[in-house]
């Protein structure tokens, strides 16, 4: 009997040592660098800081006004900023599809695939990335918005033609005046910056954020277990911060990436690659920079192999997938805008 009691005592000790309360897991997550989406005044302050750092709409007093956001939304959905009049920001970053296009490689002007077979990252929560683009070449959304418009295999337009198209439409000119004042100078930078202001509103708070903010019941027991496995596996070395990603990190540090040859993308000059956000990850397949995995469990196991040097079991991959479902957030309500009509002065599309 004493021996049995002793065994039971050891078992109870083990349980007490390894049992983890929600409060302890929340602390563990925050100690690992995970942060909830800001809200209220904290969110506004964050947006203003990002605007200041990126010099978004510099020289104009008010920022993120309803008029600016609505104008930015129209520009985001307007295909006339492309050479062909067929491609808008929403084409590759579809707000009805978690901000992506659900194809392995982005398709642009004249149905050209991205030459490096790069996958379109989600636009949702993109404000919380440290950098933009897979090679991290932009540090703010305003600068990022310029790139696709002039890229020959994306929208394939020219800055001067974009400005001419927008300013040829009196309704757009009036909306720019309403957004920035009668003395507004409508140039390429302000067009891109206005799109960026709209994008700054595309944030998706989730139950995961509620949990980090102290609501112990926001995540189920299984989701909490998945979060714990996620942390213990070392995933937060890269997938950390507000966006569970968004910074530049070394890629394939232990083993080569299985599909590295698809597109041949090598990252930036130092071989660093932007870590994709895990927010809404269950809806942003296919995964990796070249979109080679459609099942999140396969992507998890590949990352464990090439980044962490460990074999993640099917069981643990399933647990992490369960946690990832809690990262699907509440999408903002987006009403598709009626765009202002072109005029006889509006430059014609080039097909």
Tens-place pLDDT, residues 184-214: 999 999 999 999 999 999 999 999 999 999 9
- Answer whether residue 33 is part of any domain: yes
Number of domains the chain contains: 2
168 and 270 share one domain: no
What does the alpha-carbon distance between residue 117 and residue 289 come to, in Å, rounded to a whole number?
A: 8
- Answer whether residue 67 is part of any domain: yes
Q: Which residues are annotated as a binding site?
A: 89, 92-93, 235, 238-239, 303
Mean pLDDT of 78-91: 98
Indicate if the pLDDT at residue 28 is higher than 90: yes
pLDDT at 65: 97
Residue 79: which domain range? Answer: 39-198
Mark whether 225 is an active-site residue.
Answer: no
Coil vs helix vs strand at 99: coil
210 and 193 share one domain: no
280 and 246 share one domain: yes
**Where do runs of H (alpha helix) occur along the chain?**
2-18, 22-31, 40-54, 66-77, 89-92, 141-150, 159-167, 170-180, 188-199, 207-212, 221-232, 296-303, 314-325
- Residue where one domain finishes, among candidates 135, 167, 198: 198
Which of 53, 58, 154, 283 is catalytic? The answer is: 154
- Residue where one domain finishes, among candidates 198, 233, 264: 198
75 and 181 share one domain: yes
What does the alpha-carbon distance between residue 303 and residue 325 come to, in Å, rounded to a whole number?
A: 18
What pTM was estimated for this model as a whole?
A: 0.94
228 and 168 share one domain: no
30 and 124 share one domain: no
pLDDT at 188: 98
What does the alpha-carbon distance between residue 162 and residue 82 come to, in Å, rounded to a whole number?
A: 8
188 and 97 share one domain: yes
Residue 71: CATH number of its domain:
1.10.760.10
The end-to-end CA distance of the chain, in Å, is 87
- Answer whether residue 11 is part of any domain: no
242 and 212 share one domain: yes
Q: Which residues are annotated as a binding site for heme c?
A: 89, 92-93, 235, 238-239, 303
Element (H, E) at 147: helix 141-150
- Answer whether residue 89 is part of any domain: yes
What does the alpha-carbon distance between residue 313 and residue 297 come to, in Å, rounded to a whole number?
A: 10
229 and 186 share one domain: no
Question: Higher-confidence residue: 159 or 14?
Answer: 159
Element (H, E) at 68: helix 66-77
- Answer whether residue 94 is part of any domain: yes
182 and 270 share one domain: no
Indicate the pLDDT class of residue 62, thresholds 50, 70 and 90.
confident
- Answer whether residue 223 is part of any domain: yes
- Answer whether residue 227 is part of any domain: yes
- Residue where one domain finishes, among candidates 161, 180, 198: 198
151 and 249 share one domain: no
pLDDT at 19: 64
- Answer whether residue 2 is part of any domain: no
Tens-place pLDDT, residues 286-340: 999 999 999 999 999 999 999 999 999 999 999 999 999 999 999 999 999 999 9
73 and 194 share one domain: yes
Question: For all residues of the chain together, what is the average pLDDT?
Answer: 94
């Amino acid at each position: 009997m004493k021996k049995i009691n002793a065994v039971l005592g050891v078992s109870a000790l083990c349980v007490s040592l390894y049992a983890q309360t929600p409060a302890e897991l929340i602390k563990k997550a925050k100690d690992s660098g995970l942060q909830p989406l800001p809200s209220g005044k904290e969110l506004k302050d964050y947006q203003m800081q990002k605007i200041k750092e990126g010099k978004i709409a510099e020289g104009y007093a008010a920022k993120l006004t309803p008029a600016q956001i609505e104008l930015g939304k129209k520009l985001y959905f307007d295909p006339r900023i492309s050479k062909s009049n067929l491609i808008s920001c929403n084409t590759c970053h579809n707000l009805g599809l978690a901000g992506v296009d659900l194809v392995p490689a982005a398709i642009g002007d004249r149905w050209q695939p991205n030459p490096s077979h790069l996958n379109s990252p989600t636009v949702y929560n993109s404000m919380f990335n440290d950098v933009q683009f897979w090679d991290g070449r932009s540090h703010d959304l305003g600068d990022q918005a310029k790139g696709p418009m002039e890229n020959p295999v994306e929208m394939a337009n020219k800055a001067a033609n974009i400005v001419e198209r927008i300013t040829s439409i009196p309704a757009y000119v009036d909306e720019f005046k309403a957004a920035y004042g009668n003395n507004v100078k409508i140039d390429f930078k302000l067009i891109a910056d206005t799109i960026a202001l709209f994008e700054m509103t595309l944030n998706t708070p989730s139950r995961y954020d509620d949990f980090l903010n102290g609501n112990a019941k926001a995540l189920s027991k299984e989701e909490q277990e998945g979060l714990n496995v996620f942390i213990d596996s070392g995933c937060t070395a890269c997938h950390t911060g507000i966006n569970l990603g968004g910074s530049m990190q070394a890629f394939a540090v232990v083993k080569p990436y299985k599909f590295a040859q698809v597109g041949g993308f090598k990252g930036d000059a130092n071989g660093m690659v932007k870590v994709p956000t895990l927010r809404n990850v269950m809806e942003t397949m296919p995964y990796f920079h070249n979109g080679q995995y459609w099942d999140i469990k396969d992507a998890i196991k590949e990352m464990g192999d090439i980044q962490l040097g460990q074999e993640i079991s099917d069981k643990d991959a399933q647990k992490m997938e369960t946690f990832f479902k809690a990262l699907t957030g509440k999408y903002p309500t987006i009403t598709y805008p009626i765009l202002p009509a072109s005029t006889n002065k509006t430059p014609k599309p080039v097909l």
